[in-house]
Structure 1
Amino acid sequence: MLKKILAVLAMLYAFAAMAAVDVNKGTAAELDSVKGIGPGTSKAIVDERKKGEFKSWEDFIERVKGVGDKRAAHLSEAGLTVNGQAYKGAAATKKDDKKDKKDKKEAKAEKKEEKKAEAKKDEKKDEKKETAMAKDAKKDDKKASDAKPAASAKK
């Protein structure tokens, strides 16, 4: 029976640790329990909260040094709330990150294709130059060979 009670208490404790923590109500220890918030950030939150409650996520981001949109999204996913509200930009941020990665990959692929096309173009130019140089060399050889018999005929 004691084991069951301890197991239930352990589960409740784990659930409490995973529960949302509001920046306006949580203690420094509760804030510190949120993944991504350390002692320094929890102290900064508590110090800013002494000046007045946070009205919104934007207010929170503006007043707490080191918290931007990305970090706010991560903290919200970890269970942090402002006045019971999750960060609204959290879902959009993940989608935007995926879209940005996809766009970067596409741009990189396009750049690679452009480099290949440029290399082919340069290769063709080089071939044309070599062909022109070979033709010029043949002309010079022909002129030289035509000039030799004429020079030997004069002697």
Structure 2
Amino acid sequence: MAPAQDLTPSTLELNRASRAELESLPGLGPALAAQLLATREDAPFADWQDLAQRVRGMGPRLRRRLSDAGLRVNGRALVSPGEPDAPLTPASVPRS
């Protein structure tokens, strides 16, 4: 009898992830990985709300997909079990 497969995604901490690790996540390509790393250099991400506000392109579907794939911000999934779904404010359009 074959051993059962663990279908739980491994976790990846956004504030410590390398470019290659970020690019391995579904829906996160080289440009967005570079933007995440550049933004993280200014200050680590405090939570998912902080990520949504500081990084353009991190819409609700992408955040959900990344969280489901194991991405964590300070050890937390997008919505932890038992927490209500709270809308996140997206990043604002850069000022000219």
The SS at the match of 2:17 is coil
Identify the match of residue 13 of structure 2 among 1, 6, 22: 22
Q: Which runs of 5+ in 1 are unaligned?
A: 1-14, 93-155
The SS at the match of 1:85 is coil
CA deviation after TM superposition for structure 1 residue 68, in Å: 1.8
Identify the match of residue 31 of structure 1 among 22, 32, 57: 22
2:3 matched residue in structure 1: none
CA deviation after TM superposition for structure 1 residue 70, in Å: 2.1
CA deviation after TM superposition for structure 1 residue 78, in Å: 1.2
Q: Distance in 2 between matches of 1:26 and 1:19?
A: 13
Map 1:81-92; keep pairs closer than 5 Å: 81-88=72-79
Q: Distance in 1 between matches of 2:11 and 2:33?
A: 15
Relative to its length, the structure with more helix (as a share) is 1
Q: Distance in 2 between matches of 1:49 and 1:74?
A: 20
Q: Which runs of 5+ in 2 are unaligned?
A: 1-5, 86-96
TM-score, normalized by length of structure 1? 0.45
* Residues 46-104 of structure 1, C-alpha deviations (whole Å, 9 max, x = no match): 00000000001000011111002222111101111101100018x95xxxxxxxxxxxx
The SS at the match of 1:29 is helix
The SS at the match of 2:77 is coil
Q: Distance in 1 between matches of 2:67 and 2:27?
A: 10
* Residues 19-53 of structure 1, C-alpha deviations (whole Å, 9 max, x = no match): 21111010011111111111111101000000000
The SS at the match of 2:15 is coil
* Residues 102-130 of structure 1, C-alpha deviations (whole Å, 9 max, x = no match): xxxxxxxxxxxxxxxxxxxxxxxxxxxxx
Q: Distance in 2 between matches of 1:61 and 1:22?
A: 16
Query: Which structure has the larger Rg over C-alpha atoms?
Result: 1
Q: Distance in 2 between matches of 1:34 and 1:68?
A: 15
- Return the letter of the residue paired with 1:73: R
Deviation larger for 28-37 or 49-58 = 28-37
Instruction: Give the share of equivalent positions with the same residue, in percent.
Output: 33
Map 1:113-152; keep pairs closer than 5 Å: none
1:101 matched residue in structure 2: none
- Return the letter of the residue paired with 1:68: G
Deviating above 4 A after TM superposition, structure 1's stretches of 4 or more consecutive aligned residues are none
